[in-house]
Structure 1
């Protein structure tokens, strides 16, 4: 639902050089066809135009026409033809042989626009670095001819190329510079489009508030210019922004206003389709019902374009979801699978008429999905294989992975497990190649991480483990472990809206067999009908065991356990549920663990299991922490585990006893002064910021100026499954997790001493948020901390002070791992008469490097 209006959206045709003569009928016809999305016909007209200019020896107009031909070929997915056309154009223009400054102004104008088009071609065919260089050249040309709008467009495109390569800070810096340029310009159509493009890109990189501000400015300028088309486009983008922020009612209102204002039939129907999707997702089925008869007639009147075809396909998807809900259309007409089938069959034919292979791939695969739901496996497989071939040929991995996944499901349904595993492997490989692009998939393709990405990994693991039961093979277990770690990474990418962790892979056997022979690694994996656990015990091959229990039941028990855990009076109910989870995860392997000499358990927890402290699992007599040190990890491929360098422990500490104005939901923390004093008393060299000293600006200054390998923050904070709602509090307001990450990474670039340990002693995961712990783990890893100790919920600050003092005292012992230091500090609280309840001592978790 994201509408990118920069280069990834709808680039415009290069303008032909000015001529005393009126534009030819071919020029006019080509522009009209292109603007209406009739790309195959555009190609035919441009080919005639190119022949005309070639015969006349008019090389400048020929170059512009060839560039436009490249653009039309791109829209059709004809990549080789597109490359040939742009190569001919740039050769005529003398690029890159001739110096840019030495050319005449009309030639430079055509060159700049041709470079825009080349950059787009390079980006969509997987050459982001080449695209960046091309757009940098385009910017130089636009600067030379004093085309400020062209400069802005090139900078926005460069930011997209940087983002695609993972250079997020450079991309954001570029966008900030663009924003400053736009602010100084007078109102114009170019300014409103530029700000909207900026807002759309900022949304993709996860800067939702900045995105909203830019889009609001774009809307206000469009309103002052009294341009209904631009007002509608900006309202639509604001609707998409509100959707991303999960502000459903606001998003719906923006979409409704878009329909009222926009003169564009396509924009109107896209807004209604997005509104329909939101209503269905939020179970507002009566309101969804009223939209259906409004959308269908509009689809039938849209000109034949890719966007119109995608709109038809998305409408079919929505109807399919409503059919499953048993909703009827107005007038008593029942929605049946045939309603969606008819829409998709039409979409396939329209795509063929248009010569658009990518649209055809999307429509055919979607039609295959309908046959899959009907249990018609052979027809579904035939359509899916056709769609997959077209998607791969059209360089559309964000569509191709869906049909690889669909093919895997179909092969599984037909009982061909080996081929199904191969299809799932291909889907996972394609997803891995996308990584950062998942946040910015084609705007017209309905996309939801939880519905469209997460199940690919889980179903792949389920197949591998099913195969393992009938034909044991250690390679299947190793691959299943890798897939579940890949899912953890994909979830983090989705959380931060960028491929945030590109760490080196570390061989599991090397980690535990040679370097850490006292640690066992456990991968609990929640699947639809069972809970699987893969275990690595030192010097032993991987093994796994299964509990037959539904995902819903696991989530119900774990959720109730978490609720009871924070209530000291509910200890009996908690112990019963905790023992259930112990029986799933530990009991089948407890004897082997005892025999192996293992003293540390490292969990890579999945789903709801992330939100409970596994140290509090109960075997009927003891808690797990009484037998083992416990650590959590997102995946061992992220960072090579190394011990804390104990020679000199330097801590930068910051604490806030009173929350700032406007945050009265957070209570005072008077014991924080004691907590920070106890760190110093434990023999740790400290630099401290307390209360009003602890402002965001002062903290940044200390982070950059101080030598430290431990960062200890004793302040309220909240971790959510959304990055924009994950923060810690300073005296002058919140520090968002993305700012937090930028500050520490900037420091790491300047100072060789990284953050070995991050301690967050008064934070909490958002109540009722099943993926909140993901924000906690992601913040820690993305900030570059090798290890993080944090609380899953806020607890009594007196007990926190005692815990912190004990933890740092143990940490000074050079022979003590961080996991063991945490365990001993927890045991000290457990033995305290006032703090023996798990609600006090089990809140603390160690994430990352446990050594």
Structure 2
């Protein structure tokens, strides 16, 4: 996994300041600590450790408890940078114990501040080890002290740390609010280097949370403040981070399919990196990091001629670096870029030599994490050049090192690498076992993968997703040649489920916790339901089917390349929102029927099946399964079955809608709006739609136009036990969390805020929202993974089911559809059957799928 980093030591922690004392013979000991700080900032961490240990012993010998505690706190911080966790834990525990002894006897203002700084160091250690709740608690304890001392800048650093912990715990709205409050405080401060540094830290955390536009804005401000006060170091740091944010925006636009915007952001990132290089003459490490990030970006864009001009500059600087973890990481980063431009100018042996040097430096530093990374990257180089035996040996060494320090975030990469190597050697069972270990490592990291490495979110499709898909591919290959067919099929399903959860985690930058209810057991109970799992692989489409009343699950294979399948889906996705393209829609939907449904028709025949539940994969989530067309019977799939989608193999606790009173909150925006630079057209049928819904239910409350604000919506949801929330307003689903929203009267309610708003109901009212209806929404144009936003809403809304539209229809048919839907729900049929009957009612009058097909039900179909 390649990580684009900010300037070294971008952590918001800092060395505590030594206490002053009048003892003359202590001067030499203070000098040791000051020298250690200089070494720390220069990346010479092992040397810093030696000086700090010596200083701590001397302070202890002189009974200088306060300065001994400070020195131990510093020592813990350096151990953290080295990845020596046990030593870091012992040092900070000893420091805090000493400080608590002093606090109990005589607590001065200085001692309180030093104690708070020690707590900040401890919190950073806890977060790095995945103890997120403990980290947040520790930082909150420190914050109380800073508030009592009225230390604004320390409190700002502390709150930025807290926001990172909140984000890792899934409290991203709280994290964002905390950062906004930090921003307000910073903006009131006079220009200074500290203000520039605070804004820089804030901008970096906003990027890790996925607030890329906010990150850019804050980092621009940091750069401007630094320029005004003449702080070249702070300005170069800000420019480097601006380059990293622009690069993250490039990835976001690529995932949305916006190639022009992606190119623009790439150019912007290159400009920022170049500016950082020019200004960072006083800070060689920042200049080198900017050059390395620039080189990586140029290589990705295949701008090899421009990239080659950087090689000699970077090489000379790397050769002069003092031994440190930073030096090892720079060598690995450089080697990874070089390995992608191996031509006449760069020989494989030169790259291998650089990585071997990195291994040697890491070994001398006793830095097992860096040594593992260097060994594994060297193994990857040999894998690429076909030297599989050497690649296997190096990868095994890298694994031993990674697992000895429980570094699962890099161990999974070497298990994956080992799997690829073994597969190339045709050792399929062994390769599958290696992939299983990679998969299990990723599962163990699920709750803190983003926290450990915020940049993984921007390389998910390159560094995470392939592990799952390649593992499934191997499982299904094994299934053809073993007696454990059912076990392998069950495991393949489970892996795809884990991939979908990982995608949602990555979408939200936070773990998506799903209440787990076994879908298989539910199917056993619901005898008329079949669950279908299409799995998209490079050269084929696998379809796994789970029928009720049988232990066997079925596997069918359609030989179709991923590209052809995705192109067909993409074309259908473009044609569906255009009413006049019905012939094209029928052509593509027939093709998809032949690939998806025809192979399993025999399994469905004569089983009294009336409902199909799809656990969809990849691009298939962007189209409604209802439109798949059976040419032989001349029927759409919806004419044969009720249809629902499940975001995974487990659901929010399923419960039939029968015997639940339909108490509906109906809300909508009919008038044209202009919000956040976007124009939203009039929805002329919203009033009629809401009237239709209200006419079919006994109890309802309405919010229309200016009444539909975020505050009013939250107030209503918290105060009344609505079983259905019906929102008829513009909205968009996207693979970009910032572009997934619902329009209210005065703002765009982003998916994160919607999630928080709906789930706060659980704190005040225990009743679950049975159905969330999102009418007049659409998937983002050109976004190949747009339906990820819909899955995100469905999973995080706290509703048992979500009914949404994949494209906007402002037409009378929508009102008719909704009226029929609620009539059927009130009559006691399942949600999936109510959806089917409402769609068939429209289809009977208007055959074009544009009018009846945009509706999809996600979640509980009962």
Contact 1:659 1:729 in 2 (8 A): no
**What are the within-5 Å matches in structure 2 for residues 683-832 of structure 1?**
683-814=697-828, 816-832=829-845
Q: Could you tell me how far apart the structure 1 residues matched to 2:455 and 2:636 are?
A: 51
Q: Could you tell me how far apart the structure 1 residues matched to 2:376 and 2:469 are?
A: 21
1:488 pairs, out of 494, 500, 517, with 500
Which segment is superposed worse, 763-772 or 276-285? 276-285
Which segment is superposed worse, 387-396 or 173-182? 173-182
How far residue 469 of structure 1 moved from its aligned partner, in angstroms, is 1.1
> What SS does the aligned partner of 2:773 have?
strand
1:529 aligns with 2:539: yes
Deviations 1:677-713 (A, max 9, x none): 1112223533222233334444344444444221212
Partner of 1:582: 593
Tell me, which stretches of 5 or more residues in structure 1 are unaligned? none
Which segment is superposed worse, 155-164 or 757-766? 155-164
How far residue 8 of structure 1 moved from its aligned partner, in angstroms, is 8.0
1:70 aligns with 2:79: no
1:252 pairs, out of 270, 273, 287, with 270
Contact 1:73 1:82 in 2 (8 A): yes
**What are the within-5 Å matches in structure 2 for residues 289-688 of structure 1?**
289-323=308-342, 333-442=344-453, 448-473=459-484, 474-499=486-511, 501-514=512-525, 516-540=526-550, 541-620=552-631, 621-644=634-657, 646-661=659-674, 666-688=680-702
Q: Could you tell me how far apart the structure 2 residues matched to 1:122 and 1:64 are?
A: 19
Q: Structure 2 vs 1, CA of residues 676 and 447 (structure 1 numbering), >3 Å: closer, same or farther? A: closer
How far residue 607 of structure 1 moved from its aligned partner, in angstroms, is 0.6
How far residue 796 of structure 1 moved from its aligned partner, in angstroms, is 4.7
Deviations 1:555-609 (A, max 9, x none): 1222223334444554444334323322222222212212221111110111111
Q: Could you tell me how far apart the structure 2 residues matched to 1:440 and 1:8 are?
A: 15
Q: Structure 2 vs 1, CA of residues 626 and 563 (structure 1 numbering), >3 Å: closer, same or farther? A: same
Contact 2:523 2:530 in 1 (8 A): yes
Contact 1:320 1:340 in 2 (8 A): yes
Deviations 1:626-667 (A, max 9, x none): 110111111132412222254421222222233313677644
Q: Could you tell me how far apart the structure 1 residues matched to 2:470 and 2:435 are?
A: 8
Contact 2:528 2:610 in 1 (8 A): yes
Q: Could you tell me how far apart the structure 2 residues matched to 1:443 and 1:600 are?
A: 41
Q: Structure 2 vs 1, CA of residues 718 and 287 (structure 1 numbering), >3 Å: closer, same or farther? A: farther
**What are the within-5 Å matches in structure 2 for residues 230-269 of structure 1?**
230-246=234-250, 247-262=265-280, 263-269=282-288
1:58 pairs, out of 40, 59, 64, with 64
Q: Structure 2 vs 1, CA of residues 656 and 111 (structure 1 numbering), >3 Å: closer, same or farther? A: closer
How far residue 367 of structure 1 moved from its aligned partner, in angstroms, is 0.8
The root-mean-square deviation of aligned C-alpha atoms, in Å, is: 2.7
Which segment is superposed worse, 623-632 or 389-398? 389-398
Q: Structure 2 vs 1, CA of residues 629 and 845 (structure 1 numbering), >3 Å: closer, same or farther? A: same
How far residue 46 of structure 1 moved from its aligned partner, in angstroms, is 2.2
Contact 2:803 2:857 in 1 (8 A): yes
Q: Structure 2 vs 1, CA of residues 305 and 645 (structure 1 numbering), >3 Å: closer, same or farther? A: farther
Partner of 2:92: 86
2:193 pairs, out of 189, 206, 224, with 189
> What SS does the aligned partner of 2:649 have?
coil
Contact 1:2 1:443 in 2 (8 A): no
Q: Could you tell me how far apart the structure 1 residues matched to 2:602 and 2:439 are?
A: 35
Q: Could you tell me how far apart the structure 2 residues matched to 1:446 and 1:589 are?
A: 36
Q: Could you tell me how far apart the structure 2 residues matched to 1:250 and 1:134 are?
A: 39
Contact 1:660 1:733 in 2 (8 A): no
Q: Could you tell me how far apart the structure 2 residues matched to 1:445 and 1:817 are?
A: 40
Q: Could you tell me how far apart the structure 2 residues matched to 1:442 and 1:565 are?
A: 39
Q: Could you tell me how far apart the structure 2 residues matched to 1:645 and 1:295 are?
A: 68
Partner of 1:277: 296
**What are the within-5 Å matches in structure 2 for residues 44-55 of structure 1?**
44-55=50-61
Contact 2:727 2:773 in 1 (8 A): yes
How far residue 4 of structure 1 moved from its aligned partner, in angstroms, is 6.9
Contact 2:173 2:752 in 1 (8 A): no
How far residue 535 of structure 1 moved from its aligned partner, in angstroms, is 1.1
> What SS does the aligned partner of 1:321 have?
coil
Contact 1:266 1:308 in 2 (8 A): no
TM-score normalised by L of structure 1:
0.92
Partner of 2:257: none
Tell me, which stretches of 5 or more residues in structure 2 are unaligned? 251-264
